[in-house]
Structure 1
Amino acid sequence: MASTKTRALEAALALVGEQGMRALTHARVDQLAGLPKGSTSNWFRTREALISGVVTYLAESERADFAAADTSTIETADQLIDSLSAMIAAETGPFAGRTRARYGLFLEGAGDPELLAPLLEQRRTYLEWTTSLLARIGARSPEDSVRALMAAGDGLVLHRLTVDPDAEIRPVIKRVVRACMQ
């Protein structure tokens, strides 16, 4: 069974992902996690500390998922398209709550570089990973192309989370990856 702290962080992340930042209170976290009243505040005394804890937990969770992914077999554009399409499907499907939470936390921390640091580090890691994959498949200018690919991916994720949950993924990613090859 997960520790009390982990249960609180998982519940907090779920609250933000399902109901937004305003729903994030110590009492609601305790209730959702099935913890005795006051448990979350034992770990995170203030709301700011709770938000910071959720940001760190989210970044660590995503980093662990990222590290577990085997990308050593990606050698072609089609393999990259398949991999990125599957990742976006997961971010907007089974992990949609976590993805919405990430967006909410990015917005919450827009004026707080310290709060955003774990998420920005995660973003840098993803940027480097994607750039290396583009280089591996023979993209003409991976460092320039990665921004377009990530922007298209981010836009597609946001579109699927907010407007059209069934929007096709692969055709969009295919078009951008193919453009990166030119």
Structure 2
Amino acid sequence: MSTRERALIAAVSLVGEQGVRALTHTRVDAAAGLPKGSTSNWFRTRDALVTGVIDWIAELERVDLEAAMAPAETMDDVVDALCRLLESATGEHAVRTRARYALFLEASAAPSPLPALREGRSRFELWIRDLLARLGAPEPDTAARALLAVSAGLIVNRLTVAPGAPIRPTVELVARGSLSA
């Protein structure tokens, strides 16, 4: 594993566990077990570090999404895929998801990392939209946005006040409702 990857893994952990204020070159070096100054060799400024972490998270999530993008033949397949993604985002990848949300807010003040965030969201929205269109949703664009909004709400709810909140009933209600809209 390269020093860059070690720095990015450590940065995601720092932000996901301690918040955006923990994201400094010095702290990343220490958390990654790298010599002082290593992170700044890859990311000269804090903005470059924020952008690098956002791009890294977007790439990891792209891989997860592509793995989940199996062809869906039925609404049950769509619900299953979405539930798996949400369980993963709030379970095994909860630290990464917390970091993503924290960095969303950070990036809104510095627009340079926003393209990577928008690209990831667009990819996910298009995937859901296409699945719903194939299954006969009369308004697949609106339905995809509704599922994304509900998914984001479930994620925030599970990462904050209700870690064990059920996912399936809510996803199923909105997904199935999109076919009769």
> Do both share a fold (TM > 0.5)?
yes
Whole-angstrom CA distance in 2 between matches of 1:170 and 1:129 = 19
Letter in 1 for 2:151: G
Contact 2:69–2:127 under 8 Å retained in 1? no
The residue aligned with 2:35 is 36
Return the offset for 1:64: 2.1
Whole-angstrom CA distance in 1 between matches of 2:69 and 2:113 = 30
Change in Cα spacing, 1:146 to 1:70, as seen in structure 2 (3 Å) is closer
Structure 2 unaligned blocks of 5 or more: none
TM-score, normalising length: structure 2: 0.95
Aligned length: 180
1:105 equivalent among 98, 103, 111: 103
Whole-angstrom CA distance in 2 between matches of 1:164 and 1:30 = 33
User: 2:161 aligned with 1:168, yes or no?
Assistant: no
Structure 1 unaligned blocks of 5 or more: none
Whole-angstrom CA distance in 2 between matches of 1:96 and 1:45 = 28
Structure 1 residue ranges (4+ consecutive) displaced by more than 6 angstroms after TM superposition: none
User: 2:64 aligned with 1:60, yes or no?
Assistant: no
The residue aligned with 1:141 is 139
Return the offset for 1:111: 2.9
Whole-angstrom CA distance in 2 between matches of 1:83 and 1:64 = 14
The residue aligned with 1:95 is 93
The residue aligned with 2:74 is 76
Contact 2:24–2:46 under 8 Å retained in 1? yes
Contact 2:68–2:85 under 8 Å retained in 1? no
Letter in 1 for 2:52: G
Whole-angstrom CA distance in 2 between matches of 1:161 and 1:178 = 25
Quick check: 106-115 or 165-174, which moved more?
106-115
TM-score, normalising length: structure 1: 0.95
The residue aligned with 2:25 is 26
1:180 equivalent among 142, 158, 178: 178
Whole-angstrom CA distance in 1 between matches of 2:137 and 2:91 = 29
Alignment of 1:123-134 (within 5 A): 123-134=121-132
Whole-angstrom CA distance in 1 between matches of 2:76 and 2:64 = 22
1:74-105 Cα deviation digits (max 9, x unpaired)? 11111111111111000000000111111111
The residue aligned with 2:155 is 157
Whole-angstrom CA distance in 2 between matches of 1:8 and 1:177 = 39
Give aligned-pair identity as a percent. Answer: 53
